[in-house]
């Protein structure tokens, strides 16, 4: 919270501090959004007049409730759950549920606030919200997780609906938990309302291409960034950090678009394969055998495994950080720039440190921030809702095509917004303002509600 706010925004932020004491993460998130909005208020003074920002900072509804449940030994536990229905200007509240001991209102509000703009950026009709509980699934049996989910939904169901609030998964909430939550919702309401949850299993209302969405989306976004510069991915050398879903499908799509991915990594080290990473082998190791990436060399003797190696030291044209937060710092950014890297797109959430971002932006390389470049996952949630609403199940190719269109739109909007505000090619600014503008315009149109 170091950057100084516009003088019109500072009182708004002080008010947020005053009204939401002890919620440091939320304060930080609001500050980060406000930091970029100075020029917006100059250009759109009506948003200030209508107190759009103050309204955005206040959730439409906050629900806090008790979740009692019994463990396998019959002992009773009481957790606290939250659902913050932050903003529905663009569509039903949409955001994941997080089960983690760190969950408290401040965290949920922070995540819900960010979700508003993330969802808005996709251009799809979804609002923003977030929920969760301080329940820790770690070490809990399936039955215990089921009992907890059922208890939680026994209260939460009344606040949900495919046109009202549509939760999804997040940390601690995966396919298993979505199943238990949806099952209890269906049981209580006596309605098979598929669209009330996203992230469902494919056989009961889920969408194809969900697993691939974020990785594919990142590469589509990268491709668009290069196209905007009169270039393309074809023939480019790429390094991808990580080897999870995002990384694997980013590699797949990059190969499909003519690039050659020569390195990927996991927490133990990196593989460099100058011939190009063999996706079949990578999937076998990571998705089927669930082993460390070092096993890659068992299948490809010409590949090199570097224990603890820094993947950003591998010369490349394009870098896709798809592993984890803060994995790419200033020094790494400098190395990439010196090695001639022309584009960086974030498949992971906040993988580049602020110092790294500064270096990329100073070097004028194409830098796609995570909130835009990895929006493919959010987009697929909206696509799942569309399929549920139309009682349809799209093919993989069609879903992928829709995903690509969304990513192209996101890029176009970010690019255009950045240009509108005099920073052509600054996707950070473009992404921050695009999402806000969509929400603000909708709120403005709907009157004081």
Which residues are near other proteins by CB under 8 A? 1, 22, 24-25, 28, 100-102, 104, 107, 137-139, 141, 171-172, 174, 176, 267-268, 280, 283-284, 287-292, 294-295, 298, 308, 324-326, 329, 350, 353-354
Residue 250 CA: distances (Å) to CA of 53, 143, 153, 169, 218: 36, 35, 35, 21, 7
Comparing CB distances to other proteins, the nearer of 48 and 295 is 295
CB-nearer residue toward other proteins: 292 or 300: 292
The yes-or-no answer on residue 130 being catalytic is yes
For CA atoms 338, 342, 347, 349, give the dihedral sign.
positive
Residue 43 corresponds to which tokens in the numbers above? 């250009």
Q: Rounded CA gap, 354 and 352, in Å?
A: 7
CB of 17 to other proteins, least distance (A): 13
Shortest CB 313 distance to other proteins, Å: 16
Compute the distance between CA of residue 117 and CA of residue 124 in angstroms, rounded to an integer: 11
CB of 305 to other proteins, least distance (A): 11
Q: How many residues does the chain have?
A: 449
Return the H-helix or E-strand segment holding 33.
helix 24-35
Nearer to other proteins, 48 or 171 (CB): 171
Question: Considering only CA atoms, which of 322, 353, 363 is closest in space to residue 222?
Answer: 322
How far apart, in whole angstroms, are the C-alpha atoms of residue 189 and residue 242? 41
For residue 34, report the phi and psi dihedrals to the nearest 5 degrees: -65, -35
Shortest distance, position 42 Cβ to other proteins, whole Å = 27
- Rounded to a whole number of angstroms, the CA Rg of the chain reads 22
Q: Which of 94, 109, 118, 130 is catalytic?
A: 130
Cβ at position 309, least distance to other proteins in Å:
11
* Nearer to other proteins (CB atom), residue 92 or residue 242: 242
Nearest Cα to Cα of residue 128 among 168, 81, 68: 168
Question: Which C-beta is closer to other proteins: that of 101 or that of 235?
Answer: 101
DSSP string, 138-181: TT--HHHHHHHHHHHHHHHGGG-BTTTEEEE-BTTB-HHHHHHH
> Closer CB to other proteins, residue 44 or residue 367?
367
The residue written with tokens 């215990």 in the block is 144
Q: How far is the CB of 142 from other proteins (least distance, A)?
A: 8
Q: Which residues are catalytic?
A: 130
């Amino acid at each position: 919270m170091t950057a100084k706010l516009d003088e019109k925004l500072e009182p708004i932020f002080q008010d947020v501090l005053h009204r939401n004491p002890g919620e440091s993460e939320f304060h930080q998130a609001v500050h980060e959004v406000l930091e970029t909005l100075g020029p917006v208020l100059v250009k759109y003074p009506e948003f200030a007049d209508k107190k759009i920002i103050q309204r955005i900072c206040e959730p439409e509804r906050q629900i806090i409730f008790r979740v009692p449940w019994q463990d396998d030994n019959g002992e009773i536990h009481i957790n606290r759950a939250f659902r913050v229905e932050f903003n529905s200007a663009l569509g039903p509240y949409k955001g994941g549920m997080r089960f983690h001991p760190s969950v408290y209102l401040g965290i949920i509000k922070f995540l819900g606030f960010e979700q508003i703009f993330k969802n808005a950026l996709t251009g799809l009709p979804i609002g923003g919200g977030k929920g969760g509980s301080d329940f820790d699934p770690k070490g809990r049996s399936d039955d215990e997780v089921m009992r907890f989910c059922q208890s939680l939904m026994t209260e939460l169901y009344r606040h949900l609906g495919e046109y009202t609030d549509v939760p999804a998964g997040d940390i601690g909430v995966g396919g298993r938990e979505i199943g238990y939550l949806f099952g209890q919702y269906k049981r209580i309401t006596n309605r098979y309302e598929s669209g009330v949850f996203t992230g469902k299993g494919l056989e009961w209302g889920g969408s194809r291409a969900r697993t691939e969405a974020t990785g594919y989306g990142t590469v589509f976004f990268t491709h668009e960034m290069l196209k905007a510069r009169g270039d393309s991915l074809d023939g480019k050398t790429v390094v991808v950090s990580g080897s999870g879903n995002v990384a694997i499908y980013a590699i797949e799509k990059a190969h499909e678009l003519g690039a050659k991915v020569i390195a990927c990594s996991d927490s133990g080290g990196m593989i460099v394969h100058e011939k190009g990473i063999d996706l079949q082998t990578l999937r076998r190791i990571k998705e089927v055998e669930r082993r460390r990436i070092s096993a890659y060399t068992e299948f490809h003797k010409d590949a090199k495994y570097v224990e603890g190696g820094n993947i950003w030291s591998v010369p490349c044209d394009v870098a896709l950080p798809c592993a984890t937060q803060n994995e790419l710092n200033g020094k790494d950014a400098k190395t990439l720039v010196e090695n001639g890297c022309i584009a960086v797109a974030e498949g992971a959430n906040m993988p580049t440190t602020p110092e790294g971002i500064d270096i990329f932006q100073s070097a004028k390389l194409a830098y796609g921030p995570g909130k835009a470049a990895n929006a493919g996952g959010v987009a697929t949630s909206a696509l799942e809702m569309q399929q549920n609403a139309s009682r349809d199940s799209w093919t993989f190719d069609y879903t992928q095509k829709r995903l690509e269109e969304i990513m192209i739109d996101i890029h176009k909007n970010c690019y255009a917004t950045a240009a509108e505000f005099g920073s052509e090619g600054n996707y950070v600014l473009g992404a921050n303002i695009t999402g806000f503008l969509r929400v603000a315009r909708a709120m403005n149109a709907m009157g004081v509600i």
